[in-house]
Structure 1
Amino acid sequence: MAQVGMRELLEAGVHFGHQTGRWNPRMRRYIFGERAGIHVIDLQQTSRLLDQAQEFAEQVAARGGTILFVGTKKQARDAIQETADAAGMPYVNQRWLGGLLTNFQTISKRIKRLHDLDDWVENGTLDLLPTRERIAAEKERAKLTVNLGGVRDMQRPPDAMFVIDLKTEVIAVKEAERLDIPIIGLVDTNCDPAPLTYPIPGNDDAIRSCKIIVEAIGSVAAEQADIYRAEQERQRKEAEEKARIEAEERAKREAEEKAAREAQEAAAAEEAAKKQATAQAAQQAAAQQ
């Protein structure tokens, strides 16, 4: 597991909190002090809690689980998408669609619709539609891509969620809580860390801070996910090879059994023919006498 050093956290500005007048008292234990009216986050705690969050992310990915990366604020969007894509995980970086988790059965129908529209583009069906219908379908596809493009391959609610900024993603956090989905989160001094299973105290307003934290989680998830997929592929090929060998052995056995039956039938037919010939010869001899 690639750990993030204190110097890296410091250089990324992870320790900068909000103005002291905007703090949430529940973040008190993660605050080192204040400077020029700004709370300074205790990076030793950040480092320790980040390690714990990475270990959990590793465990989820190692068993083939899914981590949903969520960050719709401007500072987090690029890092969320790039990291999730690299790990092969779903993400939301534009707008959280209400019910994405708690009403996934309905949302999954919209995801299927997106896949259908993508297929229309691939096979040329979209170009064959009347102009008005084609334009409407293109607009629908564009909207669905913005809202659901990052979760297009998510077939069920995730096993865990990573979130940047609890205030911005309050709906996503509430939905995850309702479904008892563990939440890893970058939490600033103005937020209540209570909903988080794995809080990571740090600056959620700076691009570099968001990037270093999301990449720390994403990198371990990517590594374990790759190992899991490779093992699944190995098992798949092994199963295919086993099935092929069994099929060949079964075919060989059936062919041998068929050949044996045919040989027995041929021998029986030959024996019957001999008996018939002997009987006919005996009848002819008796007739001559």
Structure 2
Amino acid sequence: MSKITIREMLEAGVHFGHQTRYWNPKMAPYIFGERGKIHIINLEKTLPLFNDALNFINKLAANKGTIMFVGTKKAARKTVSTEAKRCNMPYVDHRWLGGMLTNFGTIKKSINRLKELEAMRENGGLERFSKKEGLKFMRQLDKLERSVGGIKEIKGPPDAILVMDVGYEKIAIKEAAKLGIPVIGIVDTNNKPIDVDYVIPGNDDSIRALTLYCQSFAGAILEGKASVIKELVENKEVAKAIGDKPVAKKKAPAKKAVVKKAAVKKEPKVEEKTEAKIETKKANEES
């Protein structure tokens, strides 16, 4: 699996934290120092944590897990939706609806309504209504697309969530923690790494940094999915090779050679010979 490098993170500005006056003491272990009243994140600490998170995502995708991208602030929206679509995973790029994880039954109703309105739009069902009613339905459709459009294909809560800013997505993290769903989160120097299973210390404001995170996550997911397909193809080829192999015919057991015993002539015993001679002699004398 391809891994992230310190050079890539430096070029994306991952090492730039927030102003020193806004720092959170819980992030002290990940801070290298400060420059111009801005904290500098220690990328040597970030690198192994980032790669650990990518390994986890890769294995989860290989096991057909669902991973939700979450980035509702303006800087993260575009890259979150683009990369989530690229790896065919659910995403939330606008407002996080309360209960999106803990009350999925209610969210499912909104998803069903969205699909119903989409079907009406495609088959021309909205044309049956007046212009005013049609506009009303279109506004409703637009609102639902923003709120649940990115998760309309999921059947239930995801197996993990990727959070682009743990301070901005507190509700999502709390819901995930309540359900025991693993959280992979970008944690800047002004936030605290609480309820985050895979902490990635880094800049959560730079568009370049956010793009790097999302592209790396999507890449790990795609590689995980590809490994499953590769394994299936290899297994299929092995099975085919075994099926095409000619089966050796079993040799019939060799027949044992029958040895015919030669007929042995029985010679008369000595006693029988003597008696025969005596009888012959007597016959000669009488005659």
**d(CA) in 2 for partners of 1:123, 1:8:** 47
Give 1:87's aligned residue.
87
Question: In 2 relative to 1, CA 113–136 (structure 1 residues): closer, same or farther, beyond 3 Å?
Answer: same
Give 2:244's aligned residue.
none
The CA RMSD over aligned residues, in Å, is 1.9
Whether 2:121 is the aligned partner of 1:144: answer: no
Please give the secondary structure, in 1, of the residue aligned with 2:203: coil
Give 1:38's aligned residue.
38
Which of these two proteins has the greater Rg computed from alpha carbons? 2
Measure how far apart 1:223 and its partner are: 2.3
Measure how far apart 1:233 and its partner are: 10
> Aligned letter for 1:71?
G
**d(CA) in 2 for partners of 1:76, 1:131:** 36
Question: In 2 relative to 1, CA 124–227 (structure 1 residues): closer, same or farther, beyond 3 Å?
Answer: farther
Deviations 1:210-245 (A, max 9, x none): 11112111111122234546878999xx9xxxxxxx
The normalised TM-score by structure 2 is: 0.78
**d(CA) in 1 for partners of 2:221, 2:182:** 15
Query: What does 1:64-213 align with in structure 2 at a 5 Å threshold?
Result: 64-213=64-213
Question: In 2 relative to 1, CA 153–128 (structure 1 residues): closer, same or farther, beyond 3 Å?
Answer: same
**d(CA) in 1 for partners of 2:139, 2:230:** 38
Comparing both structures, which one devotes a greater share of its residues to helix? 1
> Aligned letter for 2:45?
Q
Deviations 1:45-97 (A, max 9, x none): 11100110001001111111111000111111111111100110000111111
Identity %: 46
Give 2:16's aligned residue.
16
Paired residues of 1:87 and 1:225 also in contact (CA < 8 A): no
Please give the secondary structure, in 2, of the residue aligned with 1:65: coil
Measure how far apart 1:187 and its partner are: 0.6
Is 222-231 or 164-173 further displaced after alignment? Answer: 222-231
Paired residues of 1:83 and 1:215 also in contact (CA < 8 A): yes
**d(CA) in 1 for partners of 2:222, 2:64:** 11
> Aligned letter for 1:209?
A
**d(CA) in 1 for partners of 2:197, 2:225:** 21
**d(CA) in 2 for partners of 1:210, 1:120:** 36
Deviations 1:137-164 (A, max 9, x none): 1111111011111111111100000001
Please give the secondary structure, in 2, of the residue aligned with 1:2: coil
The normalised TM-score by structure 1 is: 0.78
**d(CA) in 2 for partners of 1:138, 1:232:** 44
Q: Which runs of 5+ in 2 are unaligned?
A: 237-287
Please give the secondary structure, in 2, of the residue aligned with 1:204: coil
**d(CA) in 1 for partners of 2:74, 2:232:** 36
Please give the secondary structure, in 2, of the residue aligned with 1:209: helix
Please give the secondary structure, in 2, of the residue aligned with 1:168: coil
Paired residues of 1:87 and 1:223 also in contact (CA < 8 A): no
> Aligned letter for 1:49?
L
Deviations 1:231-270 (A, max 9, x none): 78999xx9xxxxxxxxxxxxxxxxxxxxxxxxxxxxxxxx
Deviations 1:16-72 (A, max 9, x none): 011111111111111111111111101011110011000100111111111100011
Deviations 1:161-203 (A, max 9, x none): 0001111111111111111110001110000112110010000
**d(CA) in 2 for partners of 1:232, 1:154:** 24
Please give the secondary structure, in 1, of the residue aligned with 2:158: coil
Equivalenced residues, count: 236
